[in-house]
Chain A
Amino acid sequence: MTRPEQTFFDDPALDRLYGTVWALATEVFVLRDRVTVLEEALAEAGQIDLDALRAEPSPEDLAAHAADRRAFVDHLMTSLAGTQQSKGAPV
């Protein structure tokens, strides 16, 4: 049984995009919930210091993770430029 889904926006692509974003948001929350539970369990077992984990990082900490953070942002925002990443036929 495959019937076309209802559309609400002028551009039906937006309906599908909203659905993908919502699924991702749900997965993010499930992941956050699991991380929270893990942190609490590890803290209770004396394996991690929750206060240290939650404290504002030092400039050195931020610098140590800067490359990864910038790659994440680049990956997220590359598509916004709307340019080809490999040479294709002229549009």
Chain B
Amino acid sequence: MTPRFGQGDPGLSGRAFAAAQAFTLDAKLVWTRSLYPALHRKIEDGLSPGDGVAEIRSRMAGDVDYQVFAWLERHLQRFKYSGRYGLQAYHDAQRETLEAGLTDADLPEGLLSLDPDLEMPAYYTAVDIHQHPGGVWSDAIAGCVYERGARSTTPTMGVKHADLHTRLTDYVDGLLDGPPARLFDMACGFGKSTGPFVEAYREAEIVGMDLSEPCLRLAARTAHENQSRNVRYVQGDARESGLDPDSQDVVTSTMYLHEMPPSGVRAALAESYRVLKPGGRMVHLDFYHLPDPIARFIHYGHGRCNNEPFMEPLAEMDLTAELEALGFRDIRIEPFEEAPGALDPENDAWRFPWTVVAAEKPA
């Protein structure tokens, strides 16, 4: 039985949708702030010297506290996206209006470049990442669904996309001697990572690239509404961007590397090196730094629960060695404070293992 939700459901009003989403988010906050800390303490109390992920996984497989935690980890996301009051159904009910708003007819020339012949990589289409039905690429309104969902991706942060991404922009700015002339944002999605750079570097030429036409249409629409003249959104595979070699002062990405198998990560890092100017800076924000077996166990479980099959492979890579082999220097792989107090030892709430992977191409 494949239920059909969305258009034609008389019970799906804006009010009902908002109530259900708020209910789900509040449940996620309980999971984040209460269930997770209690589970972490339980695992820690049962740890033996030398225990790794395999030992923890074996011990917790039959533990009801972990079973409940993991069930909620998967199904709170499932209810967020799918089902009667999920993001997909709600946006499906407004499909006509949303699609009309994504027209490119009035966009300035050059703001949006689409490639209808672009072939989606197999890894990209094989799984509906983070349980977004159909993925972020296959449905004309997928960018709208993704944007709305991204407002609550990190339950303890505010709903403004800018908070996390502004912090990344500040981090990048701290590495530079001055504003960049050219910046490349890999896998930019609907532009939430690109936006703060567009605002911060008004004189720069900024390129945001992504595989997803639906996301890029939304990114371009947002840029047009904000009257941003220093950015262009290009549909393409950032691993083979087509940008000129030695052309970019900054190459960046946010939550990109963990969406690909290791071969894709290597290609993205190699492409970063290729397009960077000598002396240019690469900064990728992703999930990598896992200081102990418990953090690793929880993170790998999240990957399995949330349709993120490449979270574990990325975390198993030796990124320092990969970057050294490419010729990068001043390699910094360090925890990233996504919100005030996130890295405080007293913060025992669940959080993604935000990590910056940064390096410089030798001058």
A residues in contact (CB < 8 Å) with B:
2, 6, 8-10, 15, 18-19, 22-23, 25-26, 29-30, 33-34, 37
In the complex, what residues of A have CB within 8 A of residue B16's CB? 30, 33-34
Q: Residue-by-residue, is B1-27 near A (CB-CB < 8 Å gives 1, otherwise 0)?
A: 010000000010001100110011000
- Closest chain-B Cβ to A21's Cβ sits at a distance in Å of 11
Q: Which residue of chain A lies nearest to B67 when distances are taken between CB atoms in the complex?
A: A8
Chain B's nearest CB lies how many Å from the CB of A48? 20
Alpha-carbon distance A10/B64, docked complex (angstroms): 9
User: B residues bordering A, Cβ < 8 Å?
Assistant: 2, 11, 15-16, 19-20, 23-24, 62, 64, 67-68, 70-71, 74-75, 79, 83-85, 304-305
Q: Is the CB of A9 within 8 A of B23?
A: no
Given A2-B2, A10-B62, A23-B83; A29-B75 close (CB under 8 Å)? no
- List residues of chain B with CB within 8 A of the CB of A9: 64, 67, 71
In whole Å, how far is B37's beta carbon from the nearest beta carbon of chain A? 20
Contact A18 B15 (CB under 8 A): no
Q: How far is the CA of A10 from the CA of B67 in the complex (A)?
A: 9
B75 interface neighbour in A10, A22, A33, Cβ under 8 Å: A22
Question: Are A18's CB and B85's CB within 8 A?
Answer: no
CB-based contact A34/B83 at 8 Å: no
Docked pose: A25 CA to B23 CA in angstroms:
9
Between-chain CB contacts (< 8 Å), 12 pairs: A8-B68, A8-B70, A19-B75, A22-B79, A23-B84, A26-B20, A26-B84, A30-B16, A30-B19, A33-B16, A34-B15, A37-B15
Q: Which residues of A contact B11 (CB under 8 A)?
A: 30
Find out whether the CB atom of A33 lies under 8 angstroms from the CB atom of B19: yes
Asked if B75 and A18 make an inter-chain contact with CB atoms under 8 angstroms apart, the answer reads yes
Which residues of B sit under 8 angstroms from A22, Cβ to Cβ? Answer: 75, 79
CA distance A37 to B14 in the complex (A): 13
- Measured CB to CB, the closest approach of chain A to B36, in angstroms, equals 15
Name the prevailing secondary structure of the A interface residues: helix
- Interface pair A6/B305, CB less than 8 Å apart: yes
A6 / chain B contacts, CB cutoff of 8 Å? 74, 304-305
Compute how far the CA of A12 lies from the CA of B23 in the bound complex, rounded to whole angstroms: 25
Docked Cα-Cα span, A30 to B11, in Å, equals 10
Contact of A15 with B71 in the complex, beta carbons under 8 Å: yes
Is there an interface contact between B71 and A29, defined as CB atoms closer than 8 Å? no
Task: Judge whether B79 and A29 touch: CB under 8 Å.
Answer: no
Contact B20 A29 (CB under 8 A): yes
State A83–B165 Cα separation when bound (angstroms). 59
Give the distance to chain B from A49, nearest Cβ to Cβ, in Å. Answer: 24
Distance in angstroms between the alpha carbons of A82 and B11 in the assembled complex: 35
B59 to chain A, nearest CB (A): 15
A51 to chain B, nearest CB (A): 24
Q: A29 contacts B67, CB within 8 Å?
A: no
Residues of chain B within 8 A (CB-CB) of A15 are 71
Is the Cβ of A26 less than 8 Å from the Cβ of B23? yes
Residues of A within 8 A of B23 (CB): 25-26, 29-30
Closest to B2 in A: A2
Chain B neighbourhood of A18, CB < 8 A: 71, 75
A17: min CB distance to chain B, Å: 11
| Shortest distance between the CB of A12 and any CB in chain B (Å) | 11
Question: Min CB distance, B98 to chain A, in Å?
Answer: 23
Residues of chain A within 8 A (CB-CB) of B74 are 6, 8
Which residues of B are found within 8 Å of A37, using beta-carbon distances? 15
B62 touches A26 (CB 8 A): no
| Chain B CB within 10 Å, residue with most, of A6, A9, A30, A37 | A30
Q: Which residue of A lies closest to B74 (CB)?
A: A6
CB-CB < 8 A to B84: which residues of A?
Answer: 23, 26
Q: Please name the residue on chain A nearest to B305 by beta carbon.
A: A6
CB contact between B15 and one of A8, A26, A33 (< 8 Å): that residue: A33
